[in-house]
Amino acid sequence: MNTIILSAIFGVVMMFSGIFIHNRSAYKHIAAAALLVLLVFNVSEGNGFSLINVDVKYFLHFEKFGLLFNSICIFSTLVYVMLSGKEIEKVGNNVAESYALIFFVLCGVGIVTSYTNLLMLFIGIEVLSIPLYVLTGSDKRNLKGNEASLKYFLMGSFSTGILLMGIALLYGTAGTFLIEHNGTRMLSYLEALGLVLLFIALSFKVSAAPFHFWTPDVYDGAPAVFTSFMATVVKVAGFAAFIRLFEARTGTMGSQTDRLIGIVIVLTLAFGNLTAVFQQSVKRMLAYSSIAQAGFMMFAIFAVNDTAKEGLLLYAAAYCLSTIGIFAVLAKMEDMTLEGFNGLAKSQPLIAALVTIFFLSLAGIPLTAGFFAKYYMLAAMVKTGNYIGLVVIGVLFAAVSVYYYFKVIQAMYFKDGDIVLAPVTSGFKYLLLGVAVIIVVLGVYPNALLSLLYF
Amino acid sequence: MSTIEILFWFLSALALLGATMVLISKNPVHSILWLIIVFFAISGHYVLLNAQFLAIVNLIVYAGAIMVLFLFVVMLMNLNSDSEPKKNNRLKMAGVISGGCLMLIMIDVVRSASEMQKATAMLKEGNIGLIRTLGMALFKDYVVPFEISSVLFLSAMVGAVVIGKKD
């Protein structure tokens, strides 16, 4: 509850700071301080301290998994604000409002990681998406951004309609919005249709194929800083919502949805990876790679066991941090194509090395967090004992992904070119170094994060 | 026939007539005016089901606000048959088939749902649709989502200002 209340309050605070403070670079520091406070209060809720005691049992239930997920999202946002604060200032005239919207998104994250009620799922998903429509179009002079924003808004509203239809059908069968139903019975027709509609709507939000068509255009059209936020924090929050829904229903569903999720996983992996291979723009390539990564995270939705939950946490941390790191560098570049990276290693050896670590983590090379994230996902699948073929497909596509990630590394190290990079402060470099250290530490000792789940 | 039955059949016929006219009118503005009639007929049905609140909200929100919005959009776009782009026939067929399949599935699911088969609508009885009951539910049982949705509206409002303000 702390996260939900405080992030809403901080959102309002950011809005008002837009009236009273006219120094544009101050917002970044206010936001960072607020995020730090938010992180502290979120962690302390795990130890039983909550700001106000209200009975929300029917709607929200706070447990370790959700709180840890919140912490990862808040921490990633903190890193994001510190790394990309300069770029946020450059987009449009309403910097304070952009930060306010980011805090509202975090409020949505707090809701979708702890809901027990379909009503809250709906509100959470909406609080998560509506600020994004605005952030996508916040660069008003950019026509591509406007188009992306409108497209995202229309498609998002449509998927919300599907979500509501699904909720209505589920309510029609059960007579309650609660998501807990135990016992291994067959689903009734209405329930099955409702669940499929919910599945479609949530797949849309996490951009799993075949509901991914908006992703490349929106991620490519939005300002690079906000793409970074959308592709990381918001996407993994969608998965948190997904796994909560399906976890509560494992009893009823059993193997009835296996095939559906299996098909979606294979399609997502295939589409994301194979299309990413052919991209020339790194920004667009990252959009497709985020679809591919979503395919991997879908394994957790398929398996829904303890390993899958641990894996999803690790995946969220690894994926968010590496992608935010890459985008922080990308946003400083003039030329966002592959050629733009030519010769980065010569002019900025440290940054090139760190970006290499981030790409290695995305590809899932051992000694980076991405390796254990993928490992846990596959281990969770093996544990279920069925559909081992899916694991093989996952490994094959992970190998494909190495190809396009390494193209960037190759461009940085083995090609010559004049790099055009916005001025980089030493603080930025140290922060980036810190993120890379966290990724390597998690890659060597993933229990550093996972043990938090059990204390 | 009792008054209620007469009203029921009258409203149903009106709603169906309106819906058909929405589809076959050539002029989009006429379509919208017919749609308003459909909403009025449906609101009448809600009143028959003793759901005053729904009836009023349906009128205010749909027949009022949303239809005005539709009218604005249609008038701004200045639609007429000359400027309309030619639609591919094969695409049309594909749309009809896929949409029809979804409709068939939905109809079949609702028809074969055992939970719904014995249930009938309550006429003249029950107080679920009364404003008093709704208020109690909204401010006692469902106060948490009610309050949290304020964040949703706030962010939408901030968004509208950010997008709409002149730089």
| A357 plus A442 within the same structural domain | yes
Residue A335 has a pLDDT of: 79
Do B48 and B97 belong to one domain?
A: yes
Domain shared by B17 and B68, yes or no: yes
**Residues in A touching B142 (Cβ below 8 Å):** 119
Inspect the interface and report whether the beta carbons of B152 and A94 lie closer than 8 Å.
no
Q: Which residues of B touch A108 (CB under 8 A)?
A: 151
Cα of A408 to nearest chain B Cα, Å:
35
| Residue A299 shares a structural domain with residue A331 | yes
With an 8 Å Cβ cutoff, the interface of chain A facing chain B consists of 4, 8, 11-12, 15, 54, 56, 58-60, 92-94, 97-98, 100-101, 104, 107-108, 111, 117, 119-120, 123, 126-127, 130-131, 133-134, 137-138, 140-141, 149, 172-173, 188-190, 192-193
Question: CB-CB: which of A93, A98, A119 is closest to B145?
Answer: A119
From the number of C-beta atoms within 10 Å of its C-beta (0-12, 13-18, 19+), residue A208 rates as buried
CB half-sphere exposure, A450, CA atoms < 13 A: 21
SS3 B40: helix
User: Same domain for A316 and A442?
Assistant: yes
CATH number of the CATH domain containing B72: 1.20.120.1200
Q: How far apart are CA B142 and CA B149, in angstroms?
A: 11
Position B101 in a domain: yes
CA of A123 vs chain B CAs: smallest distance (Å): 6
Check residue B109 and give its pLDDT: 80
Q: Domain range for residue B14?
A: 3-82+93-129
Cα–Cα dist B150/B133, whole Å: 22
Indicate which of B106, B147, B155 best probes the interface with A, i.e. most A CBs within 10 Å of its own CB. B155
Q: Would B88 be classed as within a structural domain?
A: no
* Tally of residues, chain B: 167
Q: What are phi and psi of A281, to 5 degrees?
A: -85, 130
**Spatial contact of A265 and A302, defined as CB atoms under 8 Å apart:** yes
3-state secondary structure chain A: CHHHHHHHHHHHHHHHHHHHCCCCCHHHHHHHHHHHHHHHHHHHHHCCCCCCCCCCCCCECCCHHHHHHHHHHHHHHHHHHHHHHHHHHHCCCCHHHHHHHHHHHHHHHHHHCCECEHHHHHHHHHHHHHHHHHHHCCCCCCHHHHHHHHHHHHHHHHHHHHHHHHHHHHHHHHCCCECCCCCCCCCCHHHHHHHHHHHHHHHHHCCCCCCCCHHHHHHHHCCHHHHHHHHHHHHHHHHHHHHHHHHHCHHHHCCCCHHHHHHHHHHHHHHHHHHHHCCCEHHHHHHHHHHHHHHHHHHHHHHCCHHHHHHHHHHHHHHHHHHHHHHHHHCCECCCEHHHHCCHHHHCHHHHHHHHHHHHHHHCCCCCHHHHHHHHHHHHHHHHCCCHHHHHHHHHHHHHHHHHHHHHHHHHHHCCCCCCECCCCHHHHHHHHHHHHHHHHHHHCCHHHHHHHHC
Q: From the list A15, A117, A190, which residue is nearest B113 (CB)? A: A190
Q: Is a pLDDT exceeding 90 seen at residue B118?
A: no
Q: Do A444 and A419 fall within a single domain?
A: yes
Which residues in chain A touch residue B152, judged by CB atoms under 8 angstroms apart?
123, 126-127, 130
Do A416 and A271 share a domain, yes or no? yes
Instruction: Tell me whether residue B50 is in a domain.
Output: yes
Size of interface A-B (CB pairs under 8 A): 93
Q: End-to-end distance of chain B based on CA atoms, in angstroms?
A: 64
Q: State whether A325 and A289 are in the same domain.
A: yes
Residue B87 lies in a domain: no
Phi, psi dihedral angles at A421 (to 5 degrees): -125, 135
Q: Which residues of B touch A97 (CB under 8 A)?
A: 158, 161-162
- Total domains in the fold of chain A: 2
A224 and A141, same domain (yes or no): yes
Q: Measured between alpha carbons, how far is A24 from A89 in angstroms, rounded to an integer?
A: 7
Query: Does a structural domain hold residue B120?
Result: yes
Beta partners for residue B96, in sequence order:
none
Is residue B53 located within the same domain as residue B114?
Answer: yes
Q: Is A94 close to B165, i.e. CB distance below 8 A?
A: yes
Count of C-beta atoms within a 10 Å radius of residue B69 = 11
Q: Is B81 exposed, middle or buried (0-12, 13-18, 19+ CB in 10 A)?
A: exposed
Examine the domain organization and report whether B137 and B76 are in the same domain.
no
* Mutation target vs B (from A2, A19, A94; most B CBs, 10 A cutoff): A94
Dihedrals phi, psi of A202, to nearest 5 degrees: -70, -35
Helix-strand-coil percent breakdown of chain B, rounded to 5? Answer: 75, 0, 25
Cβ distance A127 to B112 less than 8 Å, yes or no, reads: no
Q: Are the C-beta atoms of A88 and A99 separated by less than 8 Å?
A: yes
Q: Which helix (H) or strand (E) holds B95?
A: helix B89-112
Say yes or no: A35 and A95 in one domain.
yes
Same domain, B24 and B37: yes
The reply to whether A16 and A80 lie within a common domain is yes
Q: How many CB atoms lie within 10 A of CB B71?
A: 15
pLDDT tens, residue order, chain A (455 aa)? 889 999 999 999 999 998 898 888 889 999 999 999 999 999 888 887 887 877 787 888 888 899 999 999 999 999 999 999 888 888 878 889 999 999 999 999 999 999 988 999 999 999 999 999 999 988 888 899 999 999 999 999 999 999 999 999 888 887 788 887 655 566 777 888 888 899 999 999 999 988 999 999 999 999 989 999 999 999 999 999 999 888 866 655 556 778 888 899 999 999 999 999 999 889 999 999 999 999 999 999 888 888 899 999 999 999 999 999 999 998 888 778 888 888 888 888 899 999 999 999 999 998 899 999 999 999 998 988 778 889 999 999 999 999 999 999 998 888 888 777 778 888 899 999 999 999 999 999 988 888 888 87
Cβ contact, residue pair A104, B112, below 8 Å: no
Give the contacts of A197 (CB within 8 A, at least 6 positions apart).
A162, A163, A165, A166, A169
Pull the structure tokens for residue A250. 């494992």
Q: Which of A223, A427, A232 is nearest to A325 (CA)?
A: A232
Please indicate, yes or no, whether residues B32 and B65 belong to a single structural domain of this protein. Answer: yes
- The pLDDT confidence band at residue B124, using thresholds 50, 70 and 90, is low
Q: Which of A117, A149, A189 lies at the smallest CB-CB distance from B113?
A: A189
Look at residue B68 and tell me if it is in a domain: yes
The verdict on A54 and A1 lying in the same domain is yes
Q: How far is CA A47 from CA A52, A63, A64, A70, in A?
A: 14, 11, 10, 14
Q: What distance in Å separates the CA atoms of residue A43 and residue A36, rounded to the nearest whole number?
A: 11
CB contacts of B138 in chain A (<8 Å) are: none
Ramachandran category for residue B78: left, alpha or beta (phi over 0 → left; psi -120 to 50 → alpha): left
A157-166, A386-395, B20-29, B157-166 — most confident range: A157-166
Residue type, A85: G
Dihedral through CA A16, CA A10, CA A318, CA A390, nearest 10?
Answer: -100
Domain match, B17 and B49 both: yes
On whether the CB atoms of residues A247 and A306 are closer than 8 A, the answer is no
Nearest CA distance, B139 vs chain A (angstrom)? 13
A208 and A291 assigned to the same domain: no
Binary contact (B154, A173; C-beta < 8 A): no
Among the partner residues B105, B144, B158, nearest to A56 by beta-carbon distance: B144
**Helix/strand/coil for B67:** helix
Instruction: Give the Cβ contact number of residue A144 at 10 Å.
Output: 13
Smallest Cα distance from B81 to chain A, Å: 25
Give the residue from A254, A272, A287 where a domain finishes.
Answer: A254
Interface test with chain B among A6, A7, A16, A59, by most B beta carbons within 10 Å: A59
CA distance B145 to chain A (A): 6
Q: How many angstroms separate the CA of residue B2 from the nearest CA in chain A?
A: 31
C-beta of residue A329 within 8 angstroms of C-beta of residue A399: no
Same domain, B21 and B69: yes
Share of chain B above pLDDT 70, in %: 87
Domain boundary among A201, A227, A254: A254
From A218, A236, A254, give the residue that closes a domain.
Answer: A254
Question: What residues of B are in contact with residue A60 (Cβ under 8 Å)?
Answer: 144
Same domain, B71 and B110: yes
pLDDT of the residue at A171: 87
- Among A12, A59, A130, the residue with its CB nearest the CB of B156 is A130
What tokens were used for B49? 């089901």
Answer whether 0.90 is exceeded by the pTM: no
Q: Do B112 and A134 touch (CB under 8 A)?
A: no
Closest Cα in chain A, distance from residue B109 (Å):
6
Q: State which residues form the domain around A410.
A: 257-455
Please, are residues A349 and A270 in contact by the beta-carbon 8 Å criterion? no
* Claim to verify: residue A312 and residue A207 sit in the same structural domain: no
Q: Nearest-CA distance from B86 to chain A in Å?
A: 22
Residue B141 located in a structural domain: yes
Instruction: List CB contacts (< 8 A) between A149 and chain B.
Output: 163
Neighbour count for residue A47 (Cβ, 10 Å): 9
Q: Name the average pLDDT for chain B.
A: 84
Contact A140 B163 (CB under 8 A): yes
pLDDT in the model for residue A177: 86
Q: Could A134 and B158 be called an inter-chain contact, meaning their C-beta atoms sit closer than 8 Å?
A: yes
- How many distinct structural domains can be found in chain B? 2
The closest alpha carbon to B46, from B56, B60, B36, B34, belongs to B56
